[in-house]
Chains A and B, each alone.
Chain A
Amino acid sequence: NAGVTQTPKFQVLKTGQSMTLQCAQDMNHEYMSWYRQDPGMGLRLIHYSVGAGITDQGEVPNGYNVSRSTTEDFPLRLLSAAPSQTSVYFCASRPPGQFTEAFFGQGTRLTVV
């Protein structure tokens, strides 16, 4: 049972480069989210989705794009990386409802130089 799979695990980018962080889940969960984790800031919500074709912005969406063409996949795109985007990124999925457990990937550690 794979759960939530994030790739890559580590990435170094130069300022201005673009890349896509991949997230896939095999639990048929409708809700998916991207968070970034920075020291002392906890997990901050970047974008989230309630199902295929529907996405919304979280607390810190600037500099990131998402799309949700299938239930399984929720990629996060950095169009022009900046040093401020150096962080650990987590993808999570949940079944629909207020009281459901979130399942997290192992994270992607991104460094922008």
Chain B
Amino acid sequence: AQSVTQPDIHITVSEGASLELRCNYSYGATPYLFWYVQSPGQGLQLLLKYFSGDTLVQGIKGFEAEFKRSQSSFNLRKPSVHWSDAAEYFCAVTYTGTASKLTFGTGTRLQVTL
């Protein structure tokens, strides 16, 4: 079954520090990968997505993600975190043949200290 794993439940970083959130997808057909962010009490918003091409993808709010097929990973990064980035981040995947089924990971809660 298609799945994504987010190993880190909770991460705390200082404002201005760099950030990396991990995501691993289940190996199989070509994955279509997404990162979403959920601010407290809100729905989810798309940060970025990847299917093919350049393995480093730029998204909104200064986020980027790198696809590494050899590691089945799609990690989210930001060079300098702002206090407003505190939120929960979800990695998600679909595959060819299951396009309508978008599967999410368990999420990583980011806390930013001043």
Contacts and interface: CB of A to CB of B under 8 A. Distances in A.
Contacts of A59: 103
Contacts of B71: none
A98 B42 contact: no
B11 interface: no
Contact of A102 (B95, B102, B105): B102
Interface string B75-92: 000000000000000101
Contacts of A49: 100
A96 B99 contact: yes
B104 A98 contact: no
A41 to B, nearest CB: 6
A105 B43 contact: yes
A61 interface: no
Interface residues of A, number: 29
A98 B90 contact: no
Contact of B95 (A41, A58, A98): A98
Contacts of A56: 100-101
Interface stretch (B13-21, B44-52, B62-70): B44-52
Given A101-B46, A102-B34, 9 more contacts: A4-B43, A31-B100, A33-B102, A35-B104, A43-B90, A90-B43, A97-B99, A104-B45, A106-B42
Interface of A: 4, 31, 33, 35, 40-45, 48-50, 56, 58-59, 90, 92, 94, 96-99, 101-102, 104-107
25 contacts: A31-B100, A40-B106, A41-B106, A42-B104, A42-B106, A43-B44, A43-B104, A48-B100, A48-B101, A50-B100, A56-B100, A56-B101, A59-B103, A90-B43, A92-B44, A92-B102, A94-B102, A96-B100, A97-B99, A98-B32, A98-B94, A98-B99, A99-B51, A101-B34, A104-B45
